[in-house]
């Protein structure tokens, strides 16, 4: 599917009552072990508290992809005072490649712009081809590579690619 018009999926701001499902989604993607910074096992209570705090902060935007009441994706933005919005996102494994990520990203870019950010920044594992392809389709450029930067629970040191999207 192209253009991010995932049928039956609505992108909307996260609400307090989404928090349990957001934690479930994060835990499930962390369990996959390959795509996101967060590693399993996820400390659910801590995550719940963090999401609850995020929903209160005015420098943070949390959007969810809602498929008729099922939470199938999430995107977070944290706007730094210097104007850069840091982005993180994920889509449930069974819902990938159907335009959900595109719909979330399109809405996230709009929200970052509305919030006055001049740029969106993110980091992605070099092996995460799906994410890199999605970001590049939306105009993000590779700005550099952090080498042997992140220590994983396995002890391995992983590189990360830094990507950016200027909004001006």
Ligand X SMILES: CC(C)(COP(=O)(O)OP(=O)(O)OC[C@H]1O[C@@H](n2cnc3c(N)ncnc32)[C@H](O)[C@@H]1OP(=O)(O)O)[C@@H](O)C(=O)NCCC(=O)NCCS
Residues that bind ligand X (CB under 6 A): 1-2, 4, 29, 35-36, 89-91, 96-102, 124, 128-131, 133-134, 137
Residue nearest to ligand X (CB): 101
Distance, C-alpha 22 to centroid of its chain: 12
Closest distance to ligand X from the beta carbon of 37 (Å): 8
Cα Dmax for the chain: 41
Q: Which is nearer to ligand X, 128 or 150 (CB)?
A: 128
Instruction: Give the H/E segment covering residue 129.
Output: helix 129-137
Closest distance to ligand X from the beta carbon of 129 (Å): 5
Q: Which is nearer to ligand X, 79 or 88 (CB)?
A: 88
Q: Which is nearer to ligand X, 77 or 100 (CB)?
A: 100
Closest distance to ligand X from the beta carbon of 35 (Å): 3
Closest distance to ligand X from the beta carbon of 99 (Å): 5
Q: Which is nearer to ligand X, 13 or 126 (CB)?
A: 126
Distance, C-alpha 92 to centroid of its chain: 12
DSSP code string of 17-61: GGHHHHHHHHHHHHHH-SSSS--SSP-HHHHHHHHHHHHH-TTEE
Q: Which residues contact 7 (CB under 8 A, 6 or more apart)?
A: 98
């Amino acid at each position: 599917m192209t253009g991010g018009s995932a049928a039956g999926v609505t992108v909307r701001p996260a609400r307090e009552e989404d928090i349990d499902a957001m934690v479930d989604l994060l835990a499930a993607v962390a369990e996959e072990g390959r795509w996101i910074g967060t590693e399993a096992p996820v400390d659910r209570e801590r995550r719940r508290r963090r999401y609850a705090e995020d929903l209160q902060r005015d420098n943070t935007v949390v959007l969810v992809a809602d498929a008729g009441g099922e939470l199938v994706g999430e995107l977070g933005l944290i706007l730094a005072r210097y104007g850069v919005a840091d982005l993180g996102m994920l889509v449930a494994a069974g819902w990938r490649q159907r335009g959900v990520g595109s719909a979330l990203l399109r809405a996230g870019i709009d929200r970052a712009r509305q919030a006055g950010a001049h740029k969106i920044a993110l980091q992605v594992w070099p092996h995460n081809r799906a994410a890199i392809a999605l970001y590049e389709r939306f105009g993000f450029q590779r700005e550099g590579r952090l080498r042997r930067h992140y220590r994983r629970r396995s002890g391995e040191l992983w590189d990360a690619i830094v990507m950016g999207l200027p909004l001006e």
